[in-house]
Amino acid sequence: MKKITSFLCAAACMAAYAVPFTANAADSDKVYGTMNIPYADFYAAELNNSVPVDAVSSATTNKWKGNNTGSMGDDGKWQSGGLAAGTFNTETENGGGKILGVTYPVEISKEDLEKLSDKMGFTELSEKPKAYKPVTVESGKASFGKLVDTDGEEALSGEMTVTSLSSWGDYQINVKGIPANCDIYGVIVKTKEGTDYGMRALENIWRNGAISWGAGVKEKEPHGNVLSSEHYKSSQGQTITDVTFITLNGYSTLSGQNGYLPLKFADSLTVESGKSGKGTVTFDNSSFPADYKMKGTVADGFTVSGNTVSYNNAQPGNYTLTVSDEGGKYSDVRGSFTLTTDAIPVKYSDGKLVAADGASLTDAANYLKNISAVTVGEKRYAAGRRGATIIDSQTGEIKLDAKSGEENVFDGSGKYKLTVESTGYEKNYEFEINDQAAETTTAATTSKTTSTPKTTTAAAAKTTSSSNSPKTGTDGIALPAAFLALAGVSAFALRKKKD
């Protein structure tokens, strides 16, 4: 059974910090309260855009529920609300939810309030708020006018940057100098061409001034949520001039911007993979517009001509090809690819992985920084920021005190078989150690001296990349400090409202 919830249950819940008030509400027949206002109704009088603003569908189980509002703490510091602060929602049958709109102060006559067939969760306030939506009623249905800001619009002093290479939509803007010590109930993005766009919690509005939206090219964001793009499709090719934030204090606007939204024709490129060292790979450029003036870049040692990427002395690993329009009309496009080798440039010795016989320090360093997973016994542990650090990516040291959460990776049993996966390396590296890291054996012998470990084909190994923070295996890039030493290489701006 569906259940609609709101972060405001009664006027008493808002009295302390949530709603800024002016004088007592004694204006003739006017009544002030809060209502659950759907996004389409909330933005209707605010925008020059004929396409309504939709509700936000969320496949995740919890983020859409985070509609608790912020408040000022006893220490005088603002305690931010949830990711969907100020919204109301409904559960869906698949375990997800929908953010339907915002719970915002309104002004309505007592007569019109009585006429409303759906009171929309109206909760009366004891005082007149600083900002509110005027409500009129016709045929029992409420209409919401343009927001009344009793203090006048706040002019923000900050800056805005634009990118069309975001994981969260076709476009993302980042605004420095957003309103502080308050929750954001809505954002209006205005363009030089005269079209306005209303932004919603979670899908569009994020923390710290990050705002993104789909314009019909990218279909889903990383969590699997489908992007609703009808309201935003016309933003392609337009130029942002103003960004207005709506809070309980009213409007706060960053003006005088010049943020061009380049035309988009694809979300990503398909690039074939290849062998490391010297070679070429190709990418699919068949969808590029005829007037797209292509310029491709990868990393040092790579050149791009037509749809071919050539390279020399390239290390194994993941790479990112970026193709830009030198004419500036169209968006950049990116594609990831992997260069591989069947060589293993490391060996185990005295508690760490070091350069194998015949391998360079650069080769070993590249292997270490590209380790993607380590299997200890029968349990596989992912590496990386959220994984377990079993092998130090800088020194190659085996970390016998490694933990995965609260669990010890090495359980004290005394002897362990390790299988290492590294991106770009077709074979896994397999060896055995015991609790005394200086003593080693391989799978074929019980010798207590270093011996030649065996390698196995990486049948279960996966190669992944992120367009936002790709790994690269380019020769000489990001070498671990230990190997470099051996080789001899060494806020927000806040402005008060005007009186």
Judged against a pLDDT cut of 80, whether residue 293 lies above it is answered with yes
Higher-confidence position of 103 and 482: 103
Judged against a pLDDT cut of 70, whether residue 359 lies above it is answered with yes
Q: What pLDDT score does 447 carry?
A: 33
Beta partners for residue 141, in sequence order: 138
Judged against a pLDDT cut of 60, whether residue 198 lies above it is answered with yes
Number of DSSP helices (H) and strands (E) in the chain, helices first? 5, 39
Verdict on whether the full-model pTM lies above 0.85: no
Judged against a pLDDT cut of 50, whether residue 497 lies above it is answered with no
Judged against a pLDDT cut of 70, whether residue 438 lies above it is answered with no
| pLDDT tier at 4, thresholds 50, 70, 90 | very low
Q: Give the tens place of pLDDT for each residue, 365-405.
A: 999 999 999 999 999 999 988 899 999 999 999 999 999 99
| pLDDT tier at 462, thresholds 50, 70, 90 | very low
Task: Extract the tokens encoding 117.
Answer: 């067939």
Query: Rounded mean pLDDT of 210-234?
Result: 95
Q: Give the tens place of pLDDT for each residue, 111-165.
A: 999 999 999 999 999 999 999 999 999 999 999 999 999 999 999 999 999 999 9
Region of 174 on the Ramachandran plot (φ > 0 left; ψ -120 to 50 alpha; else beta): beta
Closest CA to 12 of 130, 126, 128: 126
Number of neighbouring beta carbons within 10 Å of residue 330: 24
Task: Extract the tokens encoding 3.
Answer: 């259940």
Q: What pLDDT score does 239 carry?
A: 98
Q: What pLDDT score does 19 carry?
A: 60
Task: Extract the tokens encoding 317.
Answer: 């690993």
Query: What φ, ψ does residue 276 adopt, rounded to 5°?
Result: -70, 175
Judged against a pLDDT cut of 80, whether residue 70 lies above it is answered with yes
Q: Which residues contact 197 (CB under 8 A, 6 or more apart)?
A: 47, 49, 188, 189, 190, 191, 213, 231, 232, 235
Judged against a pLDDT cut of 80, whether residue 182 lies above it is answered with yes
| pLDDT tier at 94, thresholds 50, 70, 90 | confident
- DSSP E strands in 329-392: the ranges are 333-340, 346-349, 352-355, 371-376, 379-382
Q: What pLDDT score does 65 carry?
A: 79
Beta partners for residue 241, in sequence order: none
Q: What pLDDT score does 471 carry?
A: 38
| pLDDT tier at 27, thresholds 50, 70, 90 | low
Any idea which architecture 274-340 has in CATH? Sandwich (2.60)
Q: Give domain limits for the chain.
A: 4-149, 154-260, 274-340, 346-486
Q: Identify whether the C-beta of residue 187 lies closer than 8 Å to the C-beta of residue 199.
A: yes
Judged against a pLDDT cut of 50, whether residue 464 lies above it is answered with no
How far is residue 331 CA from its own chain's centroid? 19
Closest CA to 89 of 52, 117, 125, 62: 62
Beta partners for residue 176, in sequence order: 159
Judged against a pLDDT cut of 90, whether residue 51 lies above it is answered with yes
| pLDDT tier at 463, thresholds 50, 70, 90 | very low
Region of 175 on the Ramachandran plot (φ > 0 left; ψ -120 to 50 alpha; else beta): beta
Beta partners for residue 351, in sequence order: none
CA atoms of 232 and 215, how far apart (whole Å): 5
Q: Give the tens place of pLDDT for each residue, 334-353.
A: 999 999 999 999 999 999 99
Judged against a pLDDT cut of 50, whether residue 488 lies above it is answered with no
Closest CA to 121 of 38, 36, 185, 40: 36
What share of residues in the chain are helix, strand, coil (percent, to 5)? 10, 40, 50
Q: Identify whether the C-beta of residue 228 lies closer than 8 Å to the C-beta of residue 54.
A: yes
